[in-house]
Structure 1
Amino acid sequence: MADKKNDIELMRQMHTVLVLHFLEGRKQSEIAETLNLSTSKVNRLITQGRKMGMVKIDIENPFQRLTDLEALLEEQVPLNRALVTSAVPGSPDTTLKQVGLAAANHLIETIRDGDVIAISGGKAVSAVVQNIETDRKFDVTVVPLTGGVQGKFYTDVNHLATQLADRLGGEAILVHAPLFAESREQRDMLMDVASIKQAFETARQANVALVGVGSIQTPGSSYYDLHPMPESDRKMLVGTGITAEFLAHLMRPDGTVADYALNSRLVALKPEELRQCKRVIGVASGAEKVMPIRAILNGHHMDSLILDEDTASEVLAATEGAQNVA
């Protein structure tokens, strides 16, 4: 009978200690002083109580809707990892910054010393680079996936590669060639120049790739920063069924490279060459990116995607619509 009473008192004491520690947030030393116990005794009671299942931890997720969207994306489209950020109504630039911050944190969590990081240019990748903050240096190499462009330097791939390498503490290999050659023959010649050939060979060996997804639907689309063209030509592109831009290649809805003359003049890796990269992180934001995202996913060109909640919802709706039609 005495043993049973002792067990009851032990359980009562254990419950008191657990309440003081986990619910009231008191330190073990404070509990020991209050109950006139040794700190080691308090520690043993806490450990024993946890082993007996008396402590159940329930963490409230303030971003449950975002987590739900991530799970749906990973389930319904071919993705290993989806990250969804909050959208800022009426402010696409701020929303893109939010996406860039999430992608920057994900990139830092992903990379390891010795990695080669291959990147594309564009506004989304620029938003990632601007948000890179780390308290340690990484022994990494950053290399472009395409040639460079003139004009908006902050979205130029060589500029971004240099900035990313600086922020991570690594080194950059640049591609000293234009994005578009004058002809296919010139493109082939440039791709065979030793320094350019070496840079792209390094990109082919990348452990991590960070890429944007381009639209051709709107006049402000990033593709027209790369290759300006009259409105009539833009409408013609859309009319031929071209849906997206990826590594500066014009792409069909099924994720294949379109049979378009400009594609043959690109000084860049081909989208299918990214498939040997273990981690291809796509970054995108905005309603105009929904169909391009679907096209790139259809082509299995990326395994991770970081986007805002509005864009994520529309990608899911478009995916469900396509499945219903099929």
Structure 2
Amino acid sequence: MLGLVRDDDSSMATRAAWLHYAGGLTQAEVAKRLGLSSLKAHRLITKANQEGLVKVYIDGEVAECVELEQALSRQFDLDYCEVVPDFDDEDLPLKALGISGAQFLKREIERSDDMLIGMGHGRTLAACVEYLPRVVTSNVRFVSLLGGLTRKFSANPHDVIHRLAERTGAEAYVMPVPFFANSVEDRDILFNQRGVREIFDLAAGANLLMVGIGTAEPEASLVATGMIEKGEIEDVKRAGGVGEILGHFFDLQGTPIETTLSDRTFTLSRDQLSERRIVAVAGGKVKLRALRAVLASGLLSGLITDEATAQALMAVSP
């Protein structure tokens, strides 16, 4: 979140509290991670409690993260940016991103009188819903932004709509089709089925689009969950594809990649995504190049990421 930079002690106290309470590290582990004595780590965590920084989640800003948020916002023309202090797996920090994404979603739910939130799917967004506390709302609705079934019409294990409905009691609309159809003809037939067009129209009118970022690697979540075949992702990669958002692939310069999948995707078009409020939750070494590609596309208006990824993004930026 953007805000004023706190003094060094408060910044360190926030970091220590985050590592201890959100990261689950012992005070001794916090001391080792921050290069402090155990006594100093204890005092910082105590200070965080005394200053009211520790509530249900960490309510404070780490100075280094705030600076990265401001730099990323300027570099990629973002309206919103949140950088999470590191404490998680470097390859894919699901816990850190999940906690931060859940906080963001909770704030959006609580401040909205009448809102329709479109949701993507994937491991990171599933983690956001996992860490979202139960909150009853009648003012917010959710809608899936893309097909949530695999090619065999089994449920995507990382589809989040049903879990969101359980956590919030809100109305939630599912896209009852696969992410990618087997052929253009299949897509046209399914698209014209009763109820499918209505859900697409609903998704096109969402106030906020919360999405994950996918890669074009053989081990991508899209392949692992059976949404697409390994050969199809290899075609995308050969065409220069690096990053994916809502079924649209981009190269490192942010240029759209047209492949055999392009006309078979059950999702909003790139034109429908333009000038929308789209917030991505993504980070980790495995997503770095993909995130760079999607940021370069200019589609994102907001980003929630981890500290190491933010530093890496700025290190390669002009």
TM-score, length-scaled by structure 2: 0.73
**Any residues of structure 2 matched to 1:62-73 within 5 Å, and which?**
63-73=62-72
Query: Quick check: 1:281–1:303 contact (8 Å CA) kept in 2?
Result: yes
What is the identity, as a one-letter code, of the residue corresponding to 2:106? I
Distance 1:79 1:276, change over 3 A: closer
- Alpha-carbon offset, residue 235 of structure 1: 4.9
SS at match of 1:261: coil
Structure 1 residue 186 corresponds to structure 2 residue 186: yes
What is the identity, as a one-letter code, of the residue corresponding to 1:176? P
**Any residues of structure 2 matched to 1:265-280 within 5 Å, and which?**
265-277=264-276, 279-280=277-278
- Alpha-carbon offset, residue 203 of structure 1: 0.5
* 1:99 aligned residue: 97
Which of 303, 308, 311 is equivalent to 1:305? 303
d(CA) in 2 for partners of 1:137, 1:119: 17
- Alpha-carbon offset, residue 121 of structure 1: 1.1
Query: Quick check: 1:287–1:314 contact (8 Å CA) kept in 2?
Result: no
* 1:128 aligned residue: 128
* 1:229 aligned residue: 230
What is the identity, as a one-letter code, of the residue corresponding to 1:282? A
SS at match of 2:244: strand
Query: Quick check: 1:214–1:221 contact (8 Å CA) kept in 2?
Result: yes
SS at match of 2:304: strand
Identity of aligned residues (%): 28
Query: Quick check: 1:216–1:234 contact (8 Å CA) kept in 2?
Result: yes
* 2:141 aligned residue: 141
* 1:281 aligned residue: 279
d(CA) in 1 for partners of 2:188, 2:65: 45
d(CA) in 2 for partners of 1:248, 1:304: 18
- Alpha-carbon offset, residue 262 of structure 1: 1.2
SS at match of 1:264: helix
Query: Quick check: 1:145–1:203 contact (8 Å CA) kept in 2?
Result: yes
What is the identity, as a one-letter code, of the residue corresponding to 1:300? G
d(CA) in 2 for partners of 1:214, 1:124: 10
TM-score, length-scaled by structure 1: 0.71
- Alpha-carbon offset, residue 118 of structure 1: 0.6
Distance 1:295 1:62, change over 3 A: closer
Distance 1:75 1:90, change over 3 A: same
d(CA) in 1 for partners of 2:219, 2:202: 32
Distance 1:274 1:177, change over 3 A: same
Larger radius of gyration: 1
Query: Quick check: 1:190–1:267 contact (8 Å CA) kept in 2?
Result: no
d(CA) in 2 for partners of 1:239, 1:154: 28
What is the identity, as a one-letter code, of the residue corresponding to 2:120? S
Distance 1:126 1:300, change over 3 A: same
Distance 1:89 1:282, change over 3 A: closer
* 1:251 aligned residue: 250
Structure 1 residue 200 corresponds to structure 2 residue 203: no
Task: Give the total of aligned pairs.
Answer: 255
SS at match of 1:125: helix
- Alpha-carbon offset, residue 125 of structure 1: 0.9
Query: Quick check: 1:208–1:280 contact (8 Å CA) kept in 2?
Result: yes
* 2:173 aligned residue: 173
Query: Quick check: 1:100–1:124 contact (8 Å CA) kept in 2?
Result: yes
d(CA) in 1 for partners of 2:213, 2:265: 17
Distance 1:121 1:72, change over 3 A: same
Distance 1:134 1:245, change over 3 A: same
- Alpha-carbon offset, residue 259 of structure 1: 1.4
d(CA) in 2 for partners of 1:138, 1:275: 29
d(CA) in 2 for partners of 1:152, 1:308: 29
User: Structure 2: 5+ residue runs without aligned partners?
Assistant: 1-52, 54-59
Distance 1:145 1:135, change over 3 A: closer
SS at match of 2:261: helix
